[in-house]
Amino acid sequence: MPHSDPRTLVSTAWLADHLADPDLRILDGSWHMPAAGRDARAEYNAGHIPGARFFDIYDISDNRSALPHMVPPVEKFMSRCRAMGVGDGHQIVVYDTAGLFSAARVWWLFRLMGHADVAVLDGGLPKWQAEGRALEDMPPVLRERHMTVRRQAHMVKDVTQVAAASKLRDAEIVDARSPARFRGDEPEPREGLRAGHVPGSRNLHYASLLNADGTMKDPEALRALFEAAGVDPAKPVITSCGSGVTAAILNLALERMGRRDHALYDGSWSEWGQFDELKVETG
């Protein structure tokens, strides 16, 4: 296990050692595919890491967009964080109930908003519970905290920028979906979307970056996986997936590898897959 880094990934042991820190804020960033039939907030209410607040990916998003859980307006992000008692000077640790899944999206969102002191809990709630560590079902006492936001516009890409990268090949578009969805061999879980991928993009399934216990592989292994996927290390990376959640696992991996030149395509396939004028590759 690589050392804990409070700006990318921390271990369960690190979190247990820092639980009582006054400036630590733990967020349950669990989210499930609609078809999973799971209620992330209800699961949080039933039991969570002591002191954790629930970060609602559905709510803290841009409700003006027809696309699912897009990046929220700055003002909305600030007000929701303030109400959760999360703000300037806090070390944030995000976990999820899957191990390492949607927590990376919350990590990326804080980074996008200019908050660098944020890490994902390696192995998430499953690892925490497997080690017999405490849970609680009491909601934390919330006190508002001021949050300053400095949006890092270079960390997010829109459809026009991704189309340009696809055409010019001046950045690597890396798709975190399963190989079968990438090739177009199986239908998309969201109705009305075409099958396939952005022309010229590479496929690196997010699950391949994880160990059997849901922790992330070490930086050397991650580097080898990106290389095996044909990603040119000299080019900046734009990550993509179904709806912008698992793509963030690739961003976390890149950051873990010491890469800073990466962004996330927020609309991802839920946007690209619906417009006939955008080209699609299969196979």
Tens of pLDDT along 249-274?
Answer: 999 999 999 999 999 999 999 999 99
Buried b (16+ CB within 10 A) or exposed e, 224-237: ebbeebebeeeebb
What does the alpha-carbon distance between residue 222 and residue 112 come to, in Å, rounded to a whole number? 22
Does residue 92 contact residue 86 with C-beta atoms inside 8 Å? yes
What's the CATH number for 154-272?
3.40.250.10
Q: Which class is domain 9-151? A: alpha beta
The four Cα atoms 118, 104, 230, 4 give a dihedral, to 10 degrees, of 40
Q: Could you count the other beta carbons within 10 Å of the beta carbon of residue 53?
A: 21
| Identified catalytic residue from 241, 245, 253, 263 | 241
Residue 3: what pLDDT?
82
Cα angle: 108, vertex 207, 107; to 5 degrees: 10
Tell me the pTM: 0.97
Q: 94 is written with which tokens?
A: 């995000």
Domain boundaries, the chain: 9-151, 154-272
Is residue 68 a contact partner of residue 224, using CB atoms and an 8 Å limit? no
User: In the annotation, is 81 catalytic?
Assistant: no
Handedness of CA 196, 97, 139, 45 (dihedral sign): positive
SS3 state at 241: coil
Alpha-carbon distance values, 158 to 63, 95, 275 (Å): 17, 27, 14
Determine the pLDDT at residue 2: 59
- Distances, alpha carbon 207 to alpha carbons 33, 66, 118, 229, 250, in Å: 15, 28, 22, 14, 10
Residue 1 — pLDDT band, cuts 50, 70, 90?
low
Residue 35 pLDDT class (50, 70, 90 cuts): confident
Average pLDDT over the chain reads: 96
The two three-digit tokens of residue 230, written as one number: 């044909």
Can you read off the two tokens belonging to residue 50? 């002591």
pLDDT digits (tens, 9 = 90+) for 72-103: 999 999 999 999 999 999 999 999 999 999 99
Checking if the pLDDT of 34 tops 90, the result is no
State what percent of residues in the chain have pLDDT above 90.
96
Q: What is the mean pLDDT of residues 197-212?
A: 98
